[in-house]
Amino acid sequence: MDNSIPEVITLGETMVLFSPEGQGPLRYMQQFRKRVAGSESNVAVGLCRLGHTAGWISRVGQDEFGKFLLKELRGEGVDVSHVTMDDQAPTGIMFKEFRSSRETRVTYYRKGSAASCMTADDLDEEYISRAKILHITGITPALSGSCWETVEAAIEMAKRHKLRISFDPNIRLKLWSAEQAREIIGKILPKCDMILPGLDEAELLLGTSGVERSVDRLLEMGAKAVILKTGAEGCWAADRKEMYHVPGFDPGIIADPIGAGDAFAAGFLAGILENRTLRECSGIANAMGAMALTTSGDYEGLPDRRELDNFIHSRQEITR
């Protein structure tokens, strides 16, 4: 496989994450671990760990944090050749706060960040044209007007070159209002081939109630496949022929819920690249999402292919 031609291209902001070494309000935390946090780059890492290739387009600051992000993602196999280092704006920062074993809060310091300054000029159409899938989320257009224009331009490039477009709404109400999300994401949805929302996101965006109506509405808007996430229950998968429930996996202990949706997307797209059925793709996605819950950090719990297969088939790996 030629790593210079990523199968999946994604774009968006990745931040330096500071994760506390204990539970409770941040004001009482003294020690933090420095990590990497970004929805789109999480998906890229997940794909690379499963043996696929992925490229990430963004901006980072011309600073030590920006260099750290590039070093880490490059080390995970992600193609970062189309990331710009910006000497006028800083790399974004994020803090996690573990209030309990079941509640994780986040605080962003990303206003005016390098990634929020992305423009359509940061896109290389030839680079995008060689991929098979463009994966985008609803986070990027929420960052700034120029980021929304960048997403629009990327979609148009993908359509010109017949890439499949995957979209995870990933609604962040700390970045914009529900009304803004409905307006902008409402323009994105009809242009996407594969849509991967949570049930609550679909209901918020569409004004629908329940799985069936939400799925039907997204298919009516033009999607070829809808994968509706329903938490521990798994997901509902639908195309224009049928709809069915795909059961989830019990992760056991939940260490950190953040990043599970990105793992889900990575698993689903890996299945698509492998020409698997929609049911198989959804099963892989459920397994990836469950495995991500077991480890603290945005992508640290993402498995390689052997670990994924062992988890799905409940095989015990011999370690001694």
- pLDDT tens digit string along 110-159? 999 999 999 999 999 999 999 999 999 999 999 999 999 999 999 999 99
Q: How high is the pLDDT of residue 199? A: 96
- SS3 category, 225: strand
Question: Mean pLDDT in the chain?
Answer: 92
pLDDT on residue 317: 41
Confirm whether 121 is a catalytic residue.
no
Confidence of residue 320 (pLDDT cuts 50, 70, 90): very low
Lookup: tokens for 28: 């009482």
Among candidate residues 262, 298, 304, 309, the one labeled active-site is: 262
| pLDDT, tens only, 172-231 | 998 999 999 999 999 999 999 999 999 999 999 999 999 999 999 999 999 999 999 998
Flag whether pLDDT at 319 surpasses 50. no
Going by their DSSP bridges, the two strands 8-11 and 133-137 should be labelled as parallel
Least confident of 32-46, 128-142, 181-195, 291-305: 291-305
Residue 286 has pLDDT above 70, yes or no: yes
- Spans of all domains in the chain: 8-311
Asked if 46 and 2 touch (Cβ cutoff 8 Å), the reply is no
Q: What DSSP string runs through 76-113? A: TT-B-TTEEEESSSPPPEEEEEEEETTEEEEEEE-TT-
8-311 CATH pick, 3.30.2130.10, 3.30.1280.10, 3.40.1190.20, 3.40.1210.10: 3.40.1190.20
Residue 243: both structure tokens together: 């709809």
Q: Would the pTM of this model clear 0.85, i.e. be above it? A: yes
Strand partners, 63: none
